[in-house]
Amino acid sequence: MRNDISFILTKLTVLALVAVLAGCGGGEGGGSDQNQSSTQKPDNSDGGQAAKVPESPKATKKTAEKFTPEMVKAATEAALSKLPNLRTTKEERVRMMESEAIQGLTDKLNKNISDGKIDHRGLKVDAITIEALTEAFMGELPKAQKRRDATLAVYNAKRLFQSITSYSDSDEGKLPVADKWCDAILQEVGTLAVFLSPQHPDTAKLKAALPNGGALKEPRPNDDAISPPKNDDGAAPAPKEAAKRKPLQKKARHSHYAFNKAMAGQAWGVNNGEPVLVFECDLGWNGAGGLADALKYMDKFKLEKIAVSSGDGFARAVTREELKKLKWEIAP
């Protein structure tokens, strides 16, 4: 059940699975009539004292053996309500509550129940109850969010690398200069959102403030404002349509990724593309730096891993120690 909660947060994929319901009890004929004959009064025609009738045993509440989708949904809602600082969007939370997603998670949970508990790859549920599942989710959701954020941070680093590649192809095989690298690739990237790392605490606020969600079709990076795109036929948009589109001001530009200053203006593929090209760091728009800056960034936000992309196109999340082992300078 690898990353079950992470699966929902990261992939948000709908699984069409059959829900397994728990607590459907009772033998054949039910339990309400099983003592009916013992409650009948015995024949007292001889005038003798009636024999004492034993009391019926009280019905005991049957313990659930498996989770139902209703239980899983209730536990998920309860866990989310108790984790107000969890960086999930409204849309993500809605998708987490979709019936097919809940059924998929229910199925995965039930497959890993053993002796009325779950202890599988970090997820521990002590009982088949909503309360126990809520507690387990509260411990797992923040971990899942970290995994999701790290994965998306690497994805952004890869996107930036690909845009730098396109820029290099159009500029005689040279990499952009350090103080203009974001501007140089903005048109190719197509959105300001890619420059924001999911691991940065300000990202949710910055994304919410981006006009058009940060998307642009025909940006002009050196202008004070990026004009709204034209229609597909090249004509200016109709007045009503144009009025709905907001220009992206320079003040809206933020970057949580930095360019390795040692690579600025260098020929593409120098040192076989081994040196770091882009790395996660909040040095601002067009920011450039090196290993020391990356380490400070990790310390500042207490990050276990940050995203890096090297000139060979390899993007990954690395730890502090792994970061130190990467090539940051150009060999003579």
DSSP characters over 272-331: GG-SEEEEE----TT-EE-HHHHHHHHHHHT-S-EEEEETTS-EEEE-HHHHHHS--S--
Maximal C-alpha separation, the chain: 118
Q: Band of the pLDDT at 217, cuts 50, 70, 90?
A: low
Indicate whether 218 pLDDT > 50.
no
**Residue 121: its pLDDT value, please?**
84
- The mean pLDDT value for 181-201 works out to 94
Domain ranges of the chain: 1-23+63-128, 152-325
Q: Band of the pLDDT at 159, cuts 50, 70, 90?
A: very high
Residues listed for the chain = 332
**Residue 64: its pLDDT value, please?**
87
DSSP state letter for 43: P
- The mean pLDDT value for 13-19 works out to 26
Highest mean pLDDT among 2-11, 17-26, 66-75, 165-174: 66-75
Average pLDDT, the chain: 77
Indicate whether 93 pLDDT > 70.
yes
**Residue 213: its pLDDT value, please?**
73
Give the separation between CA 66 and CA 20, rounded to whole angstroms.
Answer: 7
Indicate whether 300 pLDDT > 90.
yes
Least-confidence region, from 17-26, 136-145, 200-209 = 17-26
Q: Band of the pLDDT at 52, cuts 50, 70, 90?
A: low
How many CB atoms are located within 10 Å of the residue 328 CB? Answer: 18
Indicate whether 61 pLDDT > 80.
no
Q: Which of 131, 104, 138, 79 is nearest to 20 (CA)?
A: 104
Q: Band of the pLDDT at 185, cuts 50, 70, 90?
A: very high
Name, in order, each residue with C-beta under 8 angstroms of 11's C-beta and a sequence gap of 6 or more. none
Q: Which of 207, 202, 170, 201 is nearest to 185 (CA)?
A: 170
**Residue 86: its pLDDT value, please?**
81
Angle at 217 between CA 216 and CA 223, to 5 degrees: 70
pTM over 0.75: no
